[in-house]
Amino acid sequence: MSSVDSAIAPAIGAPLTFRRRGALAYQVRNELALVFRRRRNVAMLIVLAAVPLLIGTAVKLSSPHGDGGGPAFISQLTDNGLFLAFAALTVALPVFLPLAIAVVCGDAIAGEANTGTLRYLLTVPVSRTRVLLVKSIGALSYLAAAIVIVAVVGIVAGLTLFGSHGVTLLSGDTVSFANGLERALGVAVFVFVDLLGLAALAIFLSTLTEVPIGAMAGTVAFVIAFAVLDSVPQLGSIRGILLTHHWLGFGDLLRSQYSLASLAHQLVVPLAYTAIFFSAAWARITTSDITS
């Protein structure tokens, strides 16, 4: 066998016993390049970045005529630039961010299956668990980047358009700018965990099909169904288990007194969805036939 090893194919043969140290790092780096260089994904980030810019511009143009009306965050904008980030996240959370998740997470496994590249990854060989892990890291990194872009563009644009006069919270108290930034970070983390549940759901759907559009549409359908059910008051406390029910719970972070326990309590549901659907995705990908 040894004579065979060195002789075949490219002359610069690596020994067969070579075990790449930090193999996961190479895999993740490659996956991140794939996700963040894809034009469609870049375009969605640009659209997300436009959300705070549009809100900021609209409020700036209309502000002389009064600041009444609109959601609580938006009426706060003229006093305080930092609130543009919160307003943008509030606007992006129900539709734009779920759409981005549906596209990128829904494409994660189904996209590879659709192009047939999944079978070549598996025969490299990469274990099925590892494929799920690397694809999930790529998709979740995109989600994190999307949230960071909305928040950062929001903060920068807000400060530019409205300046920083100390941060006045929803409760009426004023806190330092640094404290405001901490709260912005808290909101970003809260939104990320909120959406983690949806991302897990989308990745699970992605393991079910070879048609990425199917997983994407399925994810959007779930978001709509959750929102519809959540608007039916007769369902009562059952609504608490709906993924979308707690999404805007980060408003608490913008009051002077907030309880970490209550914030954590709000994250139980999305974290439960995350655990359930990642387990389901793993169970599915490790047992399914790769027929694409």
Partner 1 sequence: MTALVATADDDASVGPEHDSALAIRTSGLTRRFGSHVAVNDVNLVVPRGAVFGFLGPNGSGKTTTIRLLLGLMAPHAGSVEILGGQMPARASDVLTRVGTLVEGPAFHPYLTGIENLRRLDDFDASTDPRTSKQRVAAALDRVGLTAAAKKNYRRYSLGMKQRLGIAAALLRPRDLLILDEPTNGLDPQGTREVRNLVRELAADGATVLVSSHLLAEIEQVATHVGIMSAGHLLRQGSLAEVLQVAQAQIRIETTELDDAIRVLDSLGLLVAERAPGYLLAAMNDIPAERINADLVTAGVPVRGLRVERPALEDFFVQLTGEGFDVVR
What CA–CA distance (Å, rounded) separates 51 from 31? Answer: 27
Listed ranges 23-31, 96-104, 150-158, 197-205: which one lies at the site for partner 1 (CB under 8 A)? 23-31
Binding track over 112-151 against partner 1, x by CB under 8 A: ---xxx-xxxxxxxxxxx----x-----------------
Distance CA 82, CA 43 (A): 25
Question: Contact between 5 and partner 1 (CB under 8 A)?
Answer: yes
Give the residue with the Cβ less far from partner 1, 45 or 167: 45
Residue 42 binds to partner 1 (criterion: CB under 8 A): no
Minimum CB distance to partner 1 smaller for 3 or for 257 = 3
Which segments of 70-176 does DSSP mark as H helices, in order? Answer: 72-76, 83-92, 96-115, 117-122, 128-162
Torsion angle defined by CA atoms of residues 45, 51, 56 and 61, in that order, rounded to the nearest 10 degrees: 120
104 touches 41 (CB < 8 A): yes
Compute CA 173 distance to the chain's CA centroid, rounded to the nearest angstrom: 31
Secondary structure letter of residue 124 according to DSSP = T
Among candidate residues 241, 111, 264, 130, the one with its CA nearest the CA of residue 189: 264
Residue from 34, 49, 189, 217 in contact with partner 1 (CB under 8 A)? 34
Site string for partner 1, 252-291 (x = CB under 8 A): ----------------------------------xx-xxx
- Between 28 and 152, whose beta carbon lies closer to partner 1? 28
The pair of three-digit structure tokens given for residue 100, joined into one six-digit string? 């981005």
Q: What angle do CA 104, 275, 207 make, to 5 degrees?
A: 45
Q: How far is the CB of 34 from partner 1 (least distance, A)?
A: 7
Which one of residues 19, 61, 65, 233 is an interface residue with partner 1 (CB under 8 A)? Answer: 19
Smallest distance, partner 1 to C-beta of residue 104, A: 15
Residue numbers of the site for partner 1 (CB under 8 A)?
1, 3-20, 23, 26-27, 29-30, 34, 38-39, 115-117, 119-129, 134, 286-287, 289-291
